Structure 1
């Protein structure tokens, strides 16, 4: 809504800043000078005993010399009561006696009708408030007493009683001058099939539902009849009330959260009331339904990391998981959820009455981040004693991660999942390398089996690494002179890229985990990267102590030092693209080498016609692989992470091509 020119200036002129601030602070009259409009008080935005908060009433500004909070009357109202800008303007305009400008005639008419409906709601609520003191409400008063809600609490929460009568409220509202159409439109009454109008709430304790401005927009009713069809009943959707876009106790909770309290999301009205009465004022609850996307966004506008407090039974856990699934695509940096699960069989009201507010505070402080609940859902009750079961877990975790839209947040979730995964599977594979066992304790790799490369370093007894002899600078300057294969060059560039851009390790973990580097030292270095739990920026320093010689040899290679993703150490996006392409080529190169080693001799029996046909097919696939994922995605060889390739076709085609080249010129018997 746009405001006419001069409206805010006039509003600031009519409102005394000291009057607005004075509702929240106690002035230090020894330091203040009322005649000059110079006011001092302890700051309401941070805890202090001295009066460092200054209000200049003439200029209309405040400033805290402690926390540096500053602004005018609108700013103070927004920050102290957690209101939006327009809500602050409307609040101050009412105090100043100024009429808020209407958008247009249609909007004005709609606003007028909403105001009339709000009047019906308030009159209906006051009728129910009076009914609570009648003889017919004795059972309701006894129930509230048992729940620990004395007369003061009943007044604070405006609790009422709807007698079990068909038209008691309808008659009372008509006597107040409200038309039947408005009464039905408010949701307090309903129209039967025969056209008669009846009270919607009968034989129920009444709880008002208010919006963020404190206006009554609907009611909730709790039946005392154990045979009632529904224990809790909310009013229907109306022009005032959208249950999926509102929260119970929104206005009070927003103000309390604005003063620094943690926002708690409970399950029902009585939980909110019990928590608020115990000192947890920033507490809300959904309105008879599961938390909706709109409610979750509203909750995040109040607090960046609210705590979802749920009963410790199966239903509570299911409700928590529904919130998790709802929140995953909406997560962003700085906006999260924590989950506090109460002892089994207890709700917040039960726990507070049994053990006091301190017990509830302990539950809130022990709230777990959302990633913990996610991990428990994917692993609880499952056994991972086979590669297939572990692969199934990895697949489900990847599916969860892909639902997170924010790339940075997805990466951090992936790192945490990786850490938790290692807690289940252990580090036996990585430890085998660290102890010189290769692919297991005493494996063949350390004893000259496949993957062992003489002259390129070796693991000695006791896990000690003996680095290779480093060639002279002139010799080392040429990749050809070093006799490195394409595969080894790619492996070294991939490792160097990851060392330079440590944050990419978690993104490409699935592809790295499947690859086995041909040099044992570099394979051990890769495994150490995957096990690294610290900050990405400290990856190289963390690996230096155990893998120093391998690091030195790797980073001194001329083709490594001149690799573009290593040179551009600040450009992570560019490095990600290069890494995806290099890994794709490395996968193809490894597949080709294995085929050459295992089946080169079989090629001799191929018919010339078969060779001719497959040569063309292979040539096409080979060039597609060389172009890399960023240049050609039409081939369908690259998946979402830019690494996962279609091996059934590509590996066979590439291996055939290499074997044809390998046997070119070889006598054919």
Structure 2
């Protein structure tokens, strides 16, 4: 059975050789480097105790330094499974999710035609290179030299020049015995609408040969020398050789270099060349369009976390956001992107000219992960002063995170976003202090023993845990309240055993149908957390859990959250006062610490000055005026103003 052109190349590109081989060997963890695709194991083809069998995942080949067996994924399956070539291809195609082509008696003929087109493209590349070196290419040479590419660099990259004449390439190749029809099929010539002979596709342009992973010329990119040309850059049309959405410029050399360097994805040909010439050899670029899903998968086949290096203009930022949205449904554990935006108005070539390779490396080292770009894209330049604006932000973030397919990764992204949200809406500004001889210095980070001291936590730890259980039990039973109190939940620190993890599971399942929600929470909650909550005896006397009244549940939920927030604020105030106290003893700090402790004791005992106006809350607990005000404020936020007096 003959296979169509490109099928095996695509199959090899989709496969991970280390995964195929990993079914038959035990990797040597001390010698292997999974991040670089450099894997070692005892050879499956001969008996040995040392790891002399080497898999280069990026290049897609294996080699044993003991018995000298070598090959690719297809060869490995043939040898280890005792299969024929076609049988091995079928097995791997199923694994890669590719449909085996139907039997085609003309496949061999098309393969031969494809090889012929490669010969035509190579002949055209030699012609363009010759034109660049001649008198007609003087202006193009000056342009390239002005971009920092001397004659040696021009030859290394196979750069050329297409003359301004309409038939120069056609006449040259026809004179070599190549049919005009082949030029049209290869995208080198276009048919005339006026019945005239085909004319050259590229004219008066600097030519960049585009090669596949095997190093064969399959297309060209041309930069116009005329500044008034309608198209500054022009790529070959799609042909039997060239699919621009599945190809990356410089893919072959970059794949070879990626074993020792980070893969960089630039915007265009000159960026790739400039970076590679400066020592960043593992650099590729899409071909004149936004990054496609196939190109993303090709990048991840080379490196688990490519760096997308884009120009620092508005177009570069838009390209970054398009790549982010494309990647969100595809990312997995250990498979992501980082983004490196150049300074405003500059591209990588400009950065290299101004500061050389060290300046570029500094920017690459500071490349931001996807979660940072996601957060920045949703919050930058956005007025978030009103509850409505914050609710809109939360909705937009939930929609973006909902596109992540991997459940575990989605939870981690959710945790990271909540942390950033807390930092945005609840900034903690550390106070500096004056010390003789040192001036104004930042406060020391409080020790763990200070944070957990009896003065700060005291007997409140048990009470905190009980309140957390009430909140979690209400949220589990009345799922519709989750979205209404999500802001307040993000401000509370759940410390009970398994409580924070159970809360994350509840938040992650918000919006799902009831049955699916219960399954998702049970699956994602920490081991034993649900069982422990359900066995808590004090929950049986909570009014909100004895009847099916969502409004009563909301009021009780609001009350518990208000008290937790108040207690948490008091504990933080005490801790900060103790930090200041440790640095500079003064009567004012002593007084401040005493006042906080006194206020806390009053809140716990219900003996505040306004006790004349305390009343019974829906759960039977008496509340002072201060506590009532805190509760009413929270209920206003969740849309239940006026319900706090419901009996």
Common fold: TM-score over 0.5: yes
Q: How many angstroms does 1:513 deviate by?
A: 3.1
Q: How many angstroms does 1:369 deviate by?
A: 0.4
Within 5 Å, which residues of 2 pair with 1:314-333?
A: 314-333=314-333
Q: Give every structure 1 segment of 4 or more consecutive aligned residues whose post-TM-superposition deviation is greater than 6 Å.
A: 43-46, 53-56, 59-65, 72-77, 100-103, 571-578, 582-587
Match of 1:329, SS state, is coil
Q: How many angstroms does 1:424 deviate by?
A: 0.9
Identify which of 565, 570, 573 aligns with 2:527.
570
Q: Does 1:312 align with 2:312?
A: yes
Within 5 Å, which residues of 2 pair with 1:88-99?
A: none
Match of 1:309, SS state, is strand
Question: Does the aligned pair in 2 maintain the 1:247–1:286 contact within 8 Å?
Answer: yes
The CA distance in 2 between the partners of 1:178 and 1:574, in whole Å, is 78
Q: What stretches of structure 2 of length at least 5 have no aligned partner?
A: 4-30, 35-39, 64-70, 78-87, 90-100, 429-454, 502-520, 557-637
Q: Does 1:529 align with 2:494?
A: yes
The CA distance in 2 between the partners of 1:420 and 1:538, in whole Å, is 21
Partner of 1:591: 551
The CA distance in 2 between the partners of 1:73 and 1:336, in whole Å, is 21
Match of 1:164, SS state, is coil
The CA distance in 1 between the partners of 2:534 and 2:52, in whole Å, is 44
Rg comparison, structure with higher value: 1
Partner of 2:22: none
The CA distance in 1 between the partners of 2:159 and 2:256, in whole Å, is 21
The CA distance in 2 between the partners of 1:108 and 1:225, in whole Å, is 43
The CA distance in 1 between the partners of 2:54 and 2:273, in whole Å, is 34
Q: How many angstroms does 1:313 deviate by?
A: 1.2
The CA distance in 1 between the partners of 2:255 and 2:413, in whole Å, is 29
Partner of 2:631: none
Q: Does 1:214 align with 2:199?
A: no
Question: Does the aligned pair in 2 maintain the 1:245–1:295 contact within 8 Å?
Answer: yes
Cα 1:423/1:54, change in 2 over 3 Å: closer
The CA distance in 1 between the partners of 2:41 and 2:335, in whole Å, is 33
The CA distance in 1 between the partners of 2:156 and 2:139, in whole Å, is 20
Q: How many angstroms does 1:260 deviate by?
A: 2.5
Partner of 2:366: 366
Partner of 1:272: 272
Q: How many angstroms does 1:291 deviate by?
A: 0.8
Q: Give TM-score, length-normalised by structure 2.
A: 0.59
Partner of 2:73: 85
Match of 1:105, SS state, is coil
Partner of 1:152: 152
Partner of 2:439: none
Match of 2:309, SS state, is strand
Bigger relative contact order (CA 8 A; separation at least 6): 2
The CA distance in 1 between the partners of 2:174 and 2:152, in whole Å, is 30
Q: How many angstroms does 1:217 deviate by?
A: 0.8
Q: Give TM-score, length-normalised by structure 1.
A: 0.58
The CA distance in 2 between the partners of 1:489 and 1:376, in whole Å, is 34
Cα 1:84/1:141, change in 2 over 3 Å: farther
Q: How many residues align?
A: 448
Cα 1:75/1:277, change in 2 over 3 Å: closer
Cα 1:575/1:464, change in 2 over 3 Å: closer
Q: How many angstroms does 1:593 deviate by?
A: 5.7
Q: What stretches of structure 1 of length at least 5 have no aligned partner?
A: 4-42, 47-52, 90-99, 429-461, 471-483, 499-504, 517-523, 541-563, 597-646, 663-669
Q: How many angstroms does 1:312 deviate by?
A: 1.0
Partner of 2:254: 253
The CA distance in 2 between the partners of 1:310 and 1:75, in whole Å, is 24
Partner of 2:263: 263
Partner of 2:168: 168
Q: How many angstroms does 1:384 deviate by?
A: 2.0
The CA distance in 2 between the partners of 1:163 and 1:62, in whole Å, is 62
